[in-house]
């Protein structure tokens, strides 16, 4: 994946660059919005990571500009502003996701990869398939090896999200945000409990476990 | 040149403005009085002169010029206040009390004239008196003039006018003095308030305006100012306290973190020890510090804003349902009974995210402190007051009566809870969220003691009824 990193904190950009490169991606760096804008005009990117507050041109202005020019590349905003209003502002400006600083690197990679996947699935799907697992989105039914798995509505949504991001790490915060649509910070392992319930339904009685725990990051659904 | 302060004050300027308006009105009034009284005096004199003229003409009708002449001489010698002149048709004086007619270019038609007569007063000084009179031609051509000295009438009018002027001047002087007095009073009150503002601007947050107890708008302003300063001072104290508390609470995990990293570094340098474990622990410590920091920041922002941002009207049961769905499996995992009960058709106004965070904190606490085999109940109901209440009741050890207020404070953790992980900020954030919605947090005893269990805790987040 080609990733554009627009961040004025050069050390943070360097760390991001290294981590993403190690994860197999190709990164281009820009120190502010104006250079970022120039970079988007110079080449195609799969995802852009844009800091909100930068000298010369801030992230919101930059993203608004590229959106006006018709560039639909997914954007992940990074910001030290973590209030809900700040998040809403960022998403309104054309951002696709919003990550508050400081963040865990695993969270950043998970969100970047989730964004790139989003672009590929532009058309409406009615059937999701990951390995032995099959999800009928219209009939609201899930089968593994042809055997029907009975899921609660929320478990169904949780599995749907995991299947759409199969092979990628997804973090607990991402799940709370995307499946439950809440942005708070639970002290207890709320999400873990739900995942373990889902896991017992889709993995119990089968040879190969599909729902993996990724240490320090979250979970991953493997085919 | 700058005017003295008093003359620059608004009340003084207003006084001047009102005095100017008053003076203009008084002048118009005086002019009217003058015209009315002077006109009246002239009319009366004209009537008197006319009557005299008619009486003389009657004498002329009776006996011609001779009788008229005689009557005229008699009248002129009497005390009557008139001036007479009888002339031939060529204008030659025949008799009378004045030497020549004040009417110039007499055409034969009745004419009137204003003139002055000279008189010698008791001190021998010449005095001119204003006078007016009529002139008519008689049947056989003789010319008769009758006039009157109007100085007395005019003196009367002048007296009135002078009295009015005096009254006007008195009013202006009194008004000016009164205005000065009022201005000084008002300016003093304003200066008192301005002094407080200056003191506060210079950093003295304890300065307060004096409330005189007169219940006027200055008292209201002073009270408002004092109240504002009280709030500001409390908020500043809160921030200072929060700052101290943050420093205190972040210092210990940061110290731990530093020590761990240092040890790991030394160990790795010496070629022994497990750097990986130390790093993992350091990461965990960092997350703890960040969580504490985030919570303190949220509380501080809510308190600073006074009101939660982005409030919407929504059904509280919906949020309750989401939270129940999130926490029910957590309870089950820990061997706790979980039940939820939601009243229908309620509405609250609030920020869904902040309220969710608050409920999550309350539920986190309940799950953390209730031993397995216990029970947790989440309930949404309408109070008789119309307020909406979210409550979480558990069968844990509860919080002793005397500690209930304290546990809401920042970083306060009770003795028996120190073994559990937690920042001591959970309930503070709930309280801050409640306040930012115009609501409150209430802690009470739970269902009571049952065997080893209890007495439990009931935490209620109460929100005002949606307008």
CA–CA separation, B238 and B301 (whole Å): 12
CA–CA separation, A77 and A52 (whole Å): 6
CA–CA separation, B377 and B380 (whole Å): 10
The answer to whether the CB of B148 falls within 8 A of the CB of B81 is yes
pLDDT along chain B (467 residues), means of 10: 67 81 83 80 86 88 85 82 85 83 80 80 78 86 86 79 82 83 81 87 84 82 88 76 68 78 83 77 80 79 79 92 93 93 91 91 92 94 92 90 78 62 78 91 85 86 85
Question: For residue B220, what pLDDT is reported?
Answer: 87
* Residues forming beta bridges with residue A36, ordered by sequence position: none
Pairing state between β A141-144 and A133-136: antiparallel
Question: For residue B446, what pLDDT is reported?
Answer: 84
CA–CA separation, A87 and B310 (whole Å): 12
Question: For residue B164, what pLDDT is reported?
Answer: 79
Of B306, B318, B453, whose CA–CA distance to B394 is shortest?
B453
Of A120, A215, A223, whose CA–CA distance to A169 is shortest?
A215
Question: For residue A116, what pLDDT is reported?
Answer: 78
Q: Which residues of B touch A (CB under 8 A)?
A: 280, 283, 287, 290-291, 294, 297, 301, 309-310, 322, 325-327, 329-330, 333, 351-354, 356-357, 360-361, 364, 367-368, 421-422, 426
CA–CA separation, B362 and B459 (whole Å): 7
What is the arithmetic mean of pLDDT over A189-202?
Answer: 92
**CA closest to B301 among chain A residues:** A83
Burial (CB count <10 Å: 0-12, 13-18, 19+), residue B266: exposed
End-to-end CA distance of chain B: 57
Question: For residue A64, what pLDDT is reported?
Answer: 92
Would the CB atoms of A187 and B368 count as touching at under 8 Å?
Answer: yes
A contacts of B292 (beta carbons < 8 Å): none
CA–CA separation, A6 and A8 (whole Å): 7
Write the CB contacts of B424 (distance below 8 Å, at least 6 apart in sequence): B249, B410, B411, B412, B413
The answer to whether the CB of A185 falls within 8 A of the CB of B291 is yes
B124 conformational bin, left if phi > 0, alpha if psi -120 to 50, beta if neither: left
B contacts of A177 (beta carbons < 8 Å): none
How big is the CA angle at B329 (ends A155 and B380), to the nearest 5 degrees? 100
Burial (CB count <10 Å: 0-12, 13-18, 19+), residue B73: middle
Q: Which helix (H) or strand (E) holds B86?
A: strand B82-87
Residues A38-71 pLDDT 10s: 898 888 899 999 998 888 888 899 999 999 988 8
Which residue, chain included where needed, has tokens 């499946």?
A: A179
Give, as one character, the DSSP assignment of residue A209: -
Question: For residue B405, what pLDDT is reported?
Answer: 79
Question: For residue A82, what pLDDT is reported?
Answer: 65
Could you give the 3-state DSSP secondary structure of residue B115? strand
Pairing state between β A147-149 and A141-144: antiparallel
C-alpha distance from A76 to closest chain B C-alpha (Å): 21
The confidence band for A220, taking pLDDT boundaries of 50, 70 and 90, is very high
Nearest beta carbon to residue A180 from set B326, B351, B368? B326
The answer to whether the CB of B144 falls within 8 A of the CB of B85 is yes
Would the CB atoms of A85 and B310 count as touching at under 8 Å?
Answer: yes
Nearest beta carbon to residue B327 from set A83, A190, A216? A190
The residue with greater pLDDT, B390 or A125, is B390
Of B120, B153, B121, B127, whose CA–CA distance to B46 is shortest?
B153
Would the CB atoms of B353 and A190 count as touching at under 8 Å?
Answer: no
């Amino acid at each position: 994946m080609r990733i554009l990193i627009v961040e004025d904190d050069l050390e943070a950009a360097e760390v991001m660059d290294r981590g993403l490169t190690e994860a197999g991606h190709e990164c281009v760096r820009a120190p502010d919005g104006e250079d970022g804008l120039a970079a988007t005009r110079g080449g195609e990117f799969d995802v852009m990571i844009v800091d909100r507050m930068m000298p010369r041109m801030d992230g919101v202005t930059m993203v608004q500009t590229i959106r006006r020019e018709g560039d639909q590349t997914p954007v992940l905003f990074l910001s030290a502003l973590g209030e809900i209003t700040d998040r809403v502002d960022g998403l309104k400006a054309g951002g696709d996701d919003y990550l508050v600083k400081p963040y865990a690197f695993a969270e950043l990679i998970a969100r970047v990869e989730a964004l790139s996947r989003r672009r590929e699935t532009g058309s409406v799907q009615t059937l999701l398939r990951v390995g032995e697992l099959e999800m009928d989105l219209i009939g609201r039914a899930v089968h593994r090896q042809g055997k029907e798995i009975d899921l609660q509505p929320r478990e169904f949504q949780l599995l749907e999200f995991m299947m759409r991001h199969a092979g990628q790490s997804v973090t607990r915060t991402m799940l709370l945000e995307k499946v439950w649509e809440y942005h708070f910070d639970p002290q207890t392992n709320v999400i873990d409990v739900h995942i373990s319930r889902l896991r017992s339904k889709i993995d119990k009685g089968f040879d190969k476990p599909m729902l993996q725990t990724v240490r320090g990051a979250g979970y991953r659904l493997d085919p | 040149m700058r005017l003295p302060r008093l003359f620059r004050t608004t009340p003084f300027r207003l006084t001047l403005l009102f005095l100017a308006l008053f003076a203009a009105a008084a002048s118009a009034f005086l002019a009217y009085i003058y015209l009315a009284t002077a006109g009246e005096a002239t009319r009366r004199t004209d009537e008197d002169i006319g009557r005299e003229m008619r009486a003389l003409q009657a004498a002329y009708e009776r006996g011609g010029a001779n009788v008229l002449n005689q009557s005229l001489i008699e009248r002129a010698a009497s005390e009557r206040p008139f001036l007479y002149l009888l002339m031939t048709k060529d204008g030659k004086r025949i008799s009378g009390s004045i030497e020549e007619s004040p009417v110039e270019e007499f055409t034969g038609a009745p004419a009137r004239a204003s003139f002055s007569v000279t008189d010698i007063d008791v001190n021998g000084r010449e005095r001119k008196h204003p006078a007016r009179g009529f002139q008519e031609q008689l049947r056989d051509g003789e010319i008769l003039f009758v006039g009157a000295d109007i100085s007395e009438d005019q003196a009367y009018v002048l007296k009135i006018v002078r009295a009015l002027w005096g009254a006007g001047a008195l009013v202006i002087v009194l008004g000016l003095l009164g205005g000065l007095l009022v201005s000084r009073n008002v300016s003093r009150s304003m200066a008192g308030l301005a002094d407080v503002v200056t003191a506060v601007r210079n950093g003295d947050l304890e300065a307060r305006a004096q409330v005189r107890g007169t219940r006027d708008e200055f008292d209201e302003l002073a009270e408002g100012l004092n109240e504002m300063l009280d709030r500001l001072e409390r908020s500043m104290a809160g921030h200072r306290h929060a700052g101290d508390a943050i420093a205190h609470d972040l210092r210990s995990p940061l110290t731990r973190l530093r020590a761990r990293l240092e040890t790991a570094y030394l160990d790795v340098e010496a070629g022994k020890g497990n750097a990986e474990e130390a790093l993992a622990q350091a990461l965990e410590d960092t997350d703890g510090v960040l969580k504490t920091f985030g919570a303190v920041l949220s509380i501080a922002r809510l308190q600073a804003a006074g009101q939660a941002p982005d409030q919407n009207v929504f059904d509280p049961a919906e949020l309750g349902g989401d939270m129940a769905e999130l926490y029910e499996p957590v309870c089950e995992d820990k061997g706790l009974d979980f039940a939820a009960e939601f009243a229908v058709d309620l509405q609250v106004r609030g920020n869904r995210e902040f309220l969710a965070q608050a409920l999550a904190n309350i539920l986190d606490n309940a799950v953390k402190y209730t031993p397995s085999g216990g029970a947790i109940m989440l309930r949404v109901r309408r109070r008789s007051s119309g307020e909406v209440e979210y409550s979480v009741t558990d069968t844990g050890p509860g919080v002793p009566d005397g500690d209930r207020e304290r546990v809401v404070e920042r970083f306060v953790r009770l003795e028996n809870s120190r073994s559990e992980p937690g920042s001591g900020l959970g309930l503070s954030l709930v309280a801050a969220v409640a306040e930012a919605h115009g609501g409150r947090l209430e802690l009470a005893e739970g269902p009571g003691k049952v065997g080893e269990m209890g007495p439990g805790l009931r935490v209620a987040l109460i929100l005002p009824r949606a307008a």
